[in-house]
Amino acid sequence: MSGRNGQDKGVLDGQVALVTGASRGIGAAIAARFAAEGARVAVSARTLTEGTSRLPGTLEDTVAGIRAAGGTAEAFAADLSAREDRVRLAEQVRERYGAVDILVNNAAVTYFTPVADFTERRAALMFEVQVTAPTHLAQLVIPGMRERGRGWILNISSVAARHPQIPPGPYAGLGGTVYGMCKAALERLSTGLAAELYADGIAVNSLAPTQVVPTPGTLFHHLTTEDDPNAEPPEVMAAAALALCHAPASELTGRIAYSQELLAELGLAP
């Protein structure tokens, strides 16, 4: 299989990548791009087959698309809010493909509700999936990365992590505060881990889309529309993710990056 760079081997040839939240949207696009560059990709989400989610897209769809394009992928269904599922996921991927070289934490459970009306159960679930799970999965794959002296951890963030303006803008009432809290914590995890793992040759970064990506999730929450001229194609995030998941840690680590700005900085096209 030839990588998208036109060479016989892609830049991720021989690497094992685990991408969570890969049944649709940004996660599926990243998985497809990594596979096109030669990685053996383990894709994970709760939705394995059609009919198990109210949103379109399944792990089976993602794997089928990758294999049809000549790539290597396998689906691993997991509920990342459950610790035992996270442990099982890491073990199954290791048994199937070997130690993980690249971890992309993309999975999310999101509710848009003002803080005054947010339930404790929903807030706890969001933090478990978007903060605790990425931390735990990193802990599970770091030993293998340390043994090889290299590795890449990428946490998918959002512009919602930024502090709002005061007086607030027109979108302040949409209920994104808890979501932004989760993403801000994820970004701090990224920079902290990058510092802790720098000497081990392991790169850790966070990446957010510059503009809203029209995925089944963002469309469901009415954050954008399919015909929005300002929307960002998921392929842009996939290209930026690739850039952050093969460069040496000495060159690209500890970044809170935004897709379009990063690609422009590196002189890369989506």
Tokens of 1: 């299989």
Closest CA to 40 of 63, 9, 71, 70: 71
**CA–CA distance, 134 with 156 (Å, rounded to integer):** 10
Here the tokens at position 251 are: 């060159």
Residue 45 bridge partners (DSSP): 77
Length of the chain: 270
Cβ atoms of 245 and 152 within 8 Å: the answer is: yes
Q: Which residues does the annotation mark as catalytic?
A: 171
What distances in angstroms separate CA 262 from CA 12, 50, 184, 209, 224, one per listed residue? 19, 35, 19, 10, 22
Burial of 167-193, coded b for 16+ CB within 10 Å and e otherwise, reads: eeeeeeeebbbbbbbbbbbbbebbbeb
Q: What are phi and psi of 147, to 5 degrees?
A: -60, -35
